[in-house]
């Protein structure tokens, strides 16, 4: 406990799913957290649940003025900013041939442009004070391809590369920038039909850990990167994927499940 004691964090997409899990964990570890999300009812309820160490502001990550408002509220409510978690994101299941230009642009705008704006605008505050941590939530699909996820993969590969550039430009100014790459996670986005865990896990037989991930497991990695425990990590990419990127089991081969 207390790994973020005295720190102030902004978490985008913080009203539900991985974002909400990260908000709860950061507060439990001593941080004051600004929940920035378009989901007003969920965001306000979470802030009320967590009390004085959390606040909510409606936030559109694609809008520069909205980012400026987030910075102003974090400073007014909590006195400064130490950590930014660029978590807000959307998913689109469509083939390239069935994806409309506007749909592709929406995914890029939220997942990539939102990350860029946060890194630039909040990053300026961190650079000015000479310290801070930015955690960009990418995806395993920012490290591999997946059919039917053209827009999403494009955005998450871009977040991965952009994080490396930010690490090079910000690191020598005292600000660490790293990326987290979740695999399948049991959230409203990853499990939109709210299937039972046992059913979801049937689709993860190719993964070494043989199960879907939990939001808290991703949150703990963001906590590590936000905390001083990761003081010499900059430009790192951490896959939280149950081993998905390690390789796929060949059914019936020695060492595979059931063999």
In a domain, residue 255? The reply is: no
Number of domains in the chain: 1
Pinpoint the alpha helices (H) of 194-239. 197-201, 215-226
Cα–chain center distance at 11:
8
C-beta atoms surrounding 149 within 10 Å: 20
Do 167 and 177 touch, CB atoms closer than 8 A? yes
> Is 257 part of a structural domain of the chain?
no
Residue 112 near residue 138 (C-beta atoms within 8 A): no
Which is catalytic among the residues 56, 152, 170, 249? 152
pLDDT digits (tens, 9 = 90+) for 107-133: 999 999 999 999 999 999 999 999 999
List the domain range (segments joined by +) for residue 12: 8-240
In a domain, 1, yes or no: no
In a domain, 247, yes or no: no
Residue 250: inside a domain, yes or no? no
Q: What is the pLDDT of residue 186?
A: 86
Q: For residue range 50-92, what is the model confidence (pLDDT) as tens digits?
A: 999 999 999 999 999 999 999 999 999 999 999 999 999 999 9
In a domain, 248, yes or no: no
Over its length of 259 residues, how does the chain's per-residue pLDDT go in tens digits? 799 999 999 999 999 999 999 999 999 999 999 999 999 999 999 999 999 999 999 999 999 999 999 999 999 999 999 999 999 999 999 999 999 999 999 999 999 999 999 999 999 999 999 999 999 999 999 999 999 999 999 999 999 999 999 999 999 999 999 999 999 998 877 777 778 888 888 888 889 999 999 999 999 999 999 999 999 999 999 999 999 999 888 777 777 777 7
Is 152 an annotated catalytic residue? yes
We report the CATH number of the domain holding residue 72 as 3.40.50.720
One-character DSSP codes across 121-165:
HHHHHHHHHT-EEEEEE--GGGTS--TTBHHHHHHHHHHHHHHHH
- CB-CB contact of 39 with 12 (8 Å): no
d(CA 151, CA 64) in angstroms, rounded, equals: 22
- Does 151 reside within a domain? yes
Q: Give the C-alpha separation, 27 to 223, whole Å.
A: 10
Q: Is residue 17 part of a domain?
A: yes
User: Using alpha carbons only, what angle is made at residue 116 by residues 77 and 69, rounded to the nearest 5 degrees?
Assistant: 25
Task: Specify the pTM.
Answer: 0.95
CA 161 vs CA 180, 194, 200, 244, 245: distances in Å: 12, 32, 31, 20, 18
């Amino acid at each position: 406990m207390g790994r973020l004691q005295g720190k102030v964090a902004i978490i985008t997409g913080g009203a539900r799913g991985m974002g909400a899990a990260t908000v709860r964990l950061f507060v439990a570890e001593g941080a004051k957290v600004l929940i920035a999300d378009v989901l007003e009812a969920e965001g306000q309820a979470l802030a009320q649940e967590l009390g004085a160490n959390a606040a909510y502001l409606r936030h559109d990550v694609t809008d520069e003025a909205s980012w400026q408002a987030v910075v102003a509220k974090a400073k007014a409510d909590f006195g400064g900013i130490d950590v930014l978690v660029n978590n807000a994101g959307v998913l689109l299941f469509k083939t390239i041939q069935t994806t409309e230009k506007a749909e592709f642009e929406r995914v890029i705008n939220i997942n990539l442009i939102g990350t860029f704006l946060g890194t630039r605008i909040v990053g300026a505050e961190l650079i000015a004070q000479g310290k801070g941590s930015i955690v960009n939530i990418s995806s395993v699909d920012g490290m591999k391809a997946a059919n039917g996820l053209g827009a999403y993969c494009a955005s998450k590969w871009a977040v991965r590369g952009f994080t490396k550039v930010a690490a090079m430009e910000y690191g020598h100014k005292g600000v660490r920038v790293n990326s987290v790459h979740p695999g399948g996670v049991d959230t409203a986005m990853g499990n939109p039909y709210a299937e039972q865990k046992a059913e979801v896990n049937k689709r993860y037989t190719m993964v070494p850990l043989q199960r879907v991930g939990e939001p808290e497991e991703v949150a703990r990695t963001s906590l590590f990167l936000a905390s001083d425990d990761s003081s010499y990590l900059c430009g790192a990419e951490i896959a939280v994927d149950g081993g998905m990127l390690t390789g796929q089991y060949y059914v019936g081969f020695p060492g595979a499940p059931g063999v």
